[in-house]
Chain A
Amino acid sequence: MSRVTVVGSGASALHFAQSALERGHEVTMLDVGRTKPEPVRPDDGFRELKRGLDDPAAYFLGDDFSGMLWPGAPGEYYGFPPHKRVLFRGHERFVVEARGFEPLSSFARGGLAEAWTGGAFPFNDQELADWPIGYRDLEPYYGRVAERIGIGGADDDLARFLPVHAHLGAPLDLDEHSRRLLEGYARKRAAINGLGVWLGRSRTATLAADTGDRRGCTYLGRCLWGCPRDALYTPVLTLHALLRHECFRYRSGVYVTHFEADDGGRVRKVHCATEAGGREAHDVEWLALGAGTLSTARIFLESLARVAGEAPELGGLMDNRQILLPFVNLGMLARPYDPATYQYHNLALGLEAQPAKEYVHGLITTLKTALIHPIAQSVPFDLKSSIQVFRNVHAALGILNVNLHDDRRGANSVALERSGDAGRLVVHYAPSADEPARVARALKTLKRALRKLGCIAPPGMQHTRPMGASVHYAGTLPMSTERRPLTASPDCVSHDFDNLLLVDGSTFPFLPAKNLTFTLMANAARVADRVL
């Protein structure tokens, strides 16, 4: 039995820890570990919640109205729920200066995936072509993670892009708008496939029925504000389960600053700053960094810098470019919407590409219970007229979230500038030169596919999210079969330190267009099995 120290409590760290515990090891998890508020009135549906709360505006907009999306303010089509802000609250020691990149980080229990939308899409062999492992290596772990967290989906047209793994459960019920889109696709399938576009059920980490201790989705319509029934998986559910394990120790309230290695290249200690302003150190047998690509880079660079006086630059930072493409389904005009439905993406689409790894992935979210003031104010009329328009087109609105792949480029880097005790992370990012052309090509085809589905994408409404916004960061310490500095083995053991495991997205050598969280969890479970 080994003693394993894990840094962070995000999706990767927790699934690595769970696998390590299952293999009989002792795990200590070090984490800042802020907690999010408990859900209010967990059995209420969306409209019952409004009626039941003493102050519904405080819940939906915040006590200080920080959930408002004001005219002219940069923002998107959804207001961000005020009580989720704790997930993105910074840390005074984690200072980032970024150019061309808008980084998000989390110091909450469960990490960034506490705010995810549950998209669980396995990478296929084409997308893993630049990795030293293939789908066959990950497949058992996709199945294992699917069994742990509950993933719904279907073996449909999207299986050509999304391999069907073990323990794929039943999908959720469709809302009317999504059902009509799928019916439209069935009628126009040949023509749409002729564009290189395939449509099908999304893969979501949301339980359609009660499973074990967890309850299935009852369509409360509150997904955007955080599933109050935990039908939508978030990593903190795994943390709660691990806390009951006798070999698991959770030390929250600590910020890992660096680790210390001996001359033989083995990590011996990990050092933390405590919330109370003190310091503590933990002896290490195995150290697993799972704090997320940027935090892991900071810890790694700080550790090198404390020995050598300075740290190298880590190249290859990746993230998915996302474009939000709103559309109107003409067949849904002047129809009411049903709030008692699943609010995130029920459908997904794939646009094939050459080479195949440059596949474009889309998530289709039909609009139901989102706040309306952010959207109504963007209608090009006075507000009274805009409301009259909006209430009759509400059920017809949807957003296609288009995701593009990214690859490692040396100039997209993370470096550490040290000043005194704390360092500042400096991030540089520039998109690839061909990105505008790829975006234009993809959007042109996807708009044609939408038209065949009876939808129009109003001109000028698409929104290109800044790099960093998708929070799919990866690639700074990539897996490599060659033993080179600043890389990791195919089993994610650092090539610089023999007992250092890199279990988050840092080691991904290529980033497909799909949300990476499912692969983060599967790969972390694989690493625990392979190394420990």
Chain B
Amino acid sequence: MADALERECRIFCRLLAGREPTDYVRTKYRAAHAAGVVEPTGGASSFERGVVALARRSTLLARALDARARILAPASLLRRKLVLLLAILECAPETEADVDSVTHASRAGLFLHLVALGLGFALLFAAGFVVAPLAFVAGGSES
């Protein structure tokens, strides 16, 4: 389980910050799980655990499943884990700029980027929707 959490932290950190997690980020991510605050109230379903197990296989899978979760399960376990990691990343001085600094010099460039993000999100959602049923299998093998 520790290995799974470690891998999950690495994949999610690559996804959100584009880099490997620092020791500090790893420690805080583990600490939050050990404190029992990550699970949603009432516990996560085996499907939600399966979604997380799938997501930790690659950044692309994680992103697609998150796009699906944003619309269909915004408070699910995967979203909670990703938001937790974002919160840790923004607090740590080494990673703060990775999640909170301007990347576009012009409003025109930003506008085009937003359009691309919107289109990309639609594709990611569709991909996430298609692969999500595999979570039933992933959840089973995980347990």
| A382 pairs with B74, CB closer than 8 A | no
Chain A window 58-89, contacts with chain B (Cβ cutoff 8 Å), 1 for yes, 0 for no = 01110011001011110000000000000000
Q: Chain A contacts of B131 at CB under 8 A?
A: none
A482 to B118, CA, bound (A): 65
Number of residues from B at the complex interface, CB < 8 A? 48
| B103 pairs with A391, CB closer than 8 A | yes
A56 to B104, CA, bound (A): 28
Given contacts A372-B100, A394-B100, are A70 and B75 in contact (CB under 8 A)? yes
| A334 pairs with B96, CB closer than 8 A | no
Q: Chain B contacts of A211 at CB under 8 A?
A: none
Given contacts A50-B92, A57-B92, A385-B117, are A392 and B99 in contact (CB under 8 A)? no
Interface presence of A387 (CB below 8 A): yes
Q: Chain B contacts of A384 at CB under 8 A?
A: 15-16, 63, 66
Interface size band for A:
35 or more
Interface presence of A371 (CB below 8 A): yes
User: Which of B24, B80, B92, B103 meets A388, CB within 8 Å?
Assistant: B103
- A183 CB to closest chain B CB, in angstroms? 18
| B87 pairs with A382, CB closer than 8 A | no
Interface presence of A389 (CB below 8 A): yes
Chain B CB within 10 A, most for which of A335, A383, A389: A383
Interface presence of B1 (CB below 8 A): no
Interface presence of A380 (CB below 8 A): yes
Given contacts A373-B87, A385-B121, are A56 and B74 in contact (CB under 8 A)? no
| A382 pairs with B110, CB closer than 8 A | no
Interface presence of B130 (CB below 8 A): no
Query: At the interface, is chain B mostly helix, strand, loop or mixed?
Result: helix
A60 to B67, CA, bound (A): 27
Interface presence of A186 (CB below 8 A): no
Q: Chain A contacts of B76 at CB under 8 A?
A: 71
Query: At the interface, is chain A mostly helix, strand, loop or mixed?
Result: helix
User: Which of A65, A72, A73, A376 meets B86, CB within 8 Å?
Assistant: A376
User: Which of B35, B100, B125 meets A391, CB within 8 Å?
Assistant: B100
| A71 pairs with B80, CB closer than 8 A | yes
| A60 pairs with B91, CB closer than 8 A | yes
User: Which of B28, B90, B125 meets A373, CB within 8 Å?
Assistant: B90
State which residues 372-404 of A face B: CB under 8 Å: 372-373, 376-377, 380-385, 387-392, 394-395
- B63 CB to closest chain A CB, in angstroms? 5
A391 to B98, CA, bound (A): 9
A71 to B80, CA, bound (A): 6
State which residues 7-40 of B face A: CB under 8 Å: 15-16, 24, 28, 32, 35, 37, 40
| B16 pairs with A50, CB closer than 8 A | no
Interface presence of B84 (CB below 8 A): yes
| B88 pairs with A57, CB closer than 8 A | yes
State which residues 338-385 of A face B: CB under 8 Å: 371-373, 376-377, 380-385
| A68 pairs with B75, CB closer than 8 A | no
A385 to B123, CA, bound (A): 12
User: Which of A336, A372, A392 meets B90, CB within 8 Å?
Assistant: A372
User: Which of A330, A372, A383, A385 meets B120, CB within 8 Å?
Assistant: A385
| A334 pairs with B106, CB closer than 8 A | yes
Interface presence of A245 (CB below 8 A): no
| B120 pairs with A371, CB closer than 8 A | no
| A391 pairs with B101, CB closer than 8 A | yes
A391 to B125, CA, bound (A): 22
- A101 CB to closest chain B CB, in angstroms? 24
Q: Chain A contacts of B104 at CB under 8 A?
A: 334, 392
Interface presence of B2 (CB below 8 A): no
Interface presence of A51 (CB below 8 A): yes
| A389 pairs with B87, CB closer than 8 A | no
Chain B window 71-89, contacts with chain A (Cβ cutoff 8 Å), 1 for yes, 0 for no = 0001110011011101110
Interface presence of A333 (CB below 8 A): yes
Interface presence of B134 (CB below 8 A): no
| B84 pairs with A388, CB closer than 8 A | no
Q: Chain A contacts of B87 at CB under 8 A?
A: 57, 61, 65, 68, 371, 373
Which A residues form the contact surface with B (CB < 8 A)?
47, 50-51, 56-57, 59-61, 64-65, 68, 70-73, 330, 333-336, 371-373, 376-377, 380-385, 387-392, 394-395
Which B residues form the contact surface with A (CB < 8 A)?
15-16, 24, 28, 32, 35, 37, 40, 63-64, 66-67, 70, 74-76, 79-80, 82-84, 86-88, 90-93, 96, 99-107, 109-110, 113-114, 117-118, 120-121, 124-125
CB-defined A-B contacts under 8 Å, sample of 14: A50-B92, A57-B28, A71-B75, A71-B76, A73-B75, A334-B104, A334-B106, A377-B86, A382-B64, A383-B82, A383-B83, A385-B120, A391-B101, A391-B103
